[in-house]
Amino acid sequence: MGFLHEGHLSLIRESKKKCDVTFVSIFVNPTQFSPTEDLSKYPRNINRDFTLLEKEKADYLFYPDVNEIYPSDFSSFIEIGPLTQILEGEFRPTHFRGVTTIVSILFHIMQPDYAFFGQKDAQQAAVIKKMIRDLKFDLQIVICPIVREPDGLAMSSRNVYLSSDERKDAVVLSEALNLAKSKVSNGECNPLKLIEEMKKLISSVSTTQLNYVKIVEAKTFVDAEYLYEGTEYLILIACKIGQTRLIDNLILKL
């Protein structure tokens, strides 16, 4: 959605490694925002974005107007099902319907062989993968690692909303993920105990308002009851720092 940062640029670099031609789409998608969310103030700077894209040698930029994508009589949406109703879907009920609709539109317009998404939006990536399987899109989804600031904060366009104090506080999210990873390395396999410790750390920071901490099986997004060797899990966090809602996650491979 623009206001590019190093996380976005890492996707472009991966595309250029794998593909002959790299298209970048920038579109702040209104259908994935609820009426109470930050559509009107979502950070935008297309001139800055264009300069960064030139520097990365992206081949094409697709930068459509809202009316090109959603004409006045638009009324078609894509619903994926149970995976979109948990976690982010519980707190943002219409969000994934907007995501799948715009992504499917972009896929139809661009006809890509590969599409590159970031691991930071882990549930979104899973939803899009399911959509292309269910609807038989002829392309491959490539998920690229989270890019972090030197202190561990996951890069996000919304980080610009944070005050200087909130910016320092926001590091607690990655610290909580690393705490859980450390405890697993030391033999803790009870997700409830891990979540309890993570919540305790996050709540120690006064600006935090936690939405959820979950540990799920990476393939199914089903809540983990125990961590078994040979299985891959995701630890997922959504939390407000002041008024800014951030998400983060960590892949656990036992």
Partnered with residue 232 across adjacent β-strands are: 253
Q: Is the pLDDT of residue 36 over 90?
A: no
Given the residues 5, 8, 95, 108, select the one marked as catalytic. Answer: 8
The length of the chain in residues reads: 254
pLDDT-derived band at 222 (thresholds 50, 70, 90) equals: very high
What number of H helices and E strands is found in the chain? 9, 7
Could you tell me where in the chain the CATH 3.30.1300.10 domains are found?
Answer: 157-253
Q: State in words which class domain 157-253 has.
A: alpha beta
Instruction: Give the strand pairing for 60-62 and 23-25.
Output: parallel
Spell out where 81-179 has E strands: 114-118, 140-144
Which pLDDT tens digit goes with each residue over 177-200? 999 999 999 999 999 999 999 999
Q: Is the pLDDT of residue 59 over 90?
A: yes
* Mean pLDDT score, 2-16: 97
Identify whether 95 is a catalytic site residue.
no
pLDDT-derived band at 140 (thresholds 50, 70, 90) equals: very high
* Mean pLDDT score, 171-177: 98
Helix (H, G, I), strand (E, B) or coil at 173: helix
Which pLDDT tens digit goes with each residue over 107-139? 999 999 999 999 999 999 999 999 999 999 999
* Mean pLDDT score, 99-109: 98
* Mean pLDDT taken over the chain: 97
Phi, psi (deg, nearest 5) at residue 212: -160, 155
In 170-231, which residue ranges form alpha helices assigned H by DSSP?
Answer: 172-185, 191-203
Q: What's the CATH fold of domain 6-144?
A: Rossmann fold (3.40.50)
Could you tell me where in the chain the CATH 3.40.50.620 domains are found?
Answer: 6-144
Q: Is the pLDDT of residue 50 over 90?
A: yes
The per-residue pLDDT for 77 is: 97
Which pLDDT tens digit goes with each residue over 61-91? 999 999 999 999 999 999 999 999 999 999 9
Q: How far apart are CA 42 and CA 1, in angstroms?
A: 9
